[in-house]
Amino acid sequence: MKYSYLGKSGLKVSQLCLGTMNFGPETEEKEAFRIMDAALDAGINFFDTANVYGGNDRRGWTEEIIGRWFQQGGGRREKVVLATKVYNDMFDEQDGPNSGAGLSAYKIRRHFEGSLKRLQTDHIELYQMHHIDRNVSWDELWGAFEILVSQGKADYIGSSNFAGWHIAAAQAKAKERHFLGLVSEQHLYNLLERTPELEVLPASQELGLGVIPWSPLAGGLLGRNALSKTGVRSARSAKLEQHRSQLEQFSALCKELGEHEDQVALAWVLANPAVTAPIIGPRTLEQFEDSLRVTEIVLEADVLKKLDEIFPGPGRPAPEAYAW
C-alpha cells in the first residue's frame, strides 16, 4: 500500500480509503469484520463512516459495528485513521426542535459525543461536515470545532459536498482565527461526474485540502458488470442507458489494457494530483480484495487521453473552461 499526506496536515493515510456505508444494511457484521481485518492486513489505515450510516430505521448502526470491531483489540483502533461525519438528522427525540439536517455548535457537541459512544473510542482523527449549512456562521462552526481539537477529541476537521467558494470562505475565516481549518474535502468525483474539476479540485489544491472522492465507480456504473443485466441495480438502469455508448467504449478500452473497469476507474481518480484517496465501498471481502491492485496501476498519457475522449470533462478549471 502507498500513503499520502492528508492535505496540508502531517497525517499520512493510505491511498485507498475504506468506505463503510454498506456495513449493516448490505453487509452483515461478521463479513464487515473480515473486510476491516483484511484492510489492515493490506496496509489500509484510512476508514470512513458517518453517524447516519445504517439506514433510516437504524441510523448509527454502521458506527456501532465499527465500535464492536475495535473492541476486539489487537491494536485495531490504534492502527486506524478514523473519519466520521455530522450534519444529518439522527431521529433523536432529545434533539427536539434542533433535530433535522444542519450544523450548529449544539448539534456538533451532541452528535460528536454520540459518535464516540457508538464507535467505542475517545477520539476521532478526522471529523467531517457532511454538507454545508448556509444558515450557520463560520465563527460558530470554527468555535465548536476548535473546542473538540483543543480537548484532544478530534485531530482534524474536514468537509464534504462543499462548493469551491465554501472551502475558500472556511479557510479564510480559519486563518483569521489562527486555526488550521479544513484538511480534506470529500466529494463526488468519477469519470461520469467531472464537474469538481472546475472549482472544487483547484480550490482544494490551492488551499491545502486533500480530496477524498466518494462514489468513484458512479454507483456501480463504472464497475466490471455494469453492462450485464445484473450488474447495476434497477434504480441505475436509466443512467445506464443514458451512458451506454460511453460505457461500451470504456469496457473495450479496459479489455485492451487487460484490466477490469472498476480498477481503471479507480486508478483514473487516484491519478489526479488533487486526490488523496478514493473511497472504496465493498459489500464483500472479494470485492475488497479486487480493489487492492488499483494503487499499482499506472495509466499512461495515451490512455488518459482516450478516457478524456470517452468521458469529456470541462477541459480546464474555471473560468477558462467557459470564458476566453
Contact in structure between 144 and 105 (CB atoms under 8 Å): yes
| CA separation for the pair 154, 144 (Å, rounded) | 11
∠ CA 13-280-163, nearest 5°, is 75
**Is 53 marked active-site?**
yes
- Report the Cα 22 to chain-centroid distance in Å: 13
| CA separation for the pair 208, 179 (Å, rounded) | 13
| CA separation for the pair 147, 153 (Å, rounded) | 9
Residue type at position 84? T
Instruction: Residue 36: name the closest of 18, 48, 12 by CA.
Output: 18
Instruction: Residue 155: name the closest of 53, 83, 74, 59 by CA.
Output: 83
> Which of the following is catalytic: 53, 87, 156, 189?
53
Walk across the sheet containing 154-160 and list its strands.
210-214, 182-188, 154-160, 124-129, 81-86, 46-48, 17-19, 279-280
Catalytic residues, by residue number, are 53
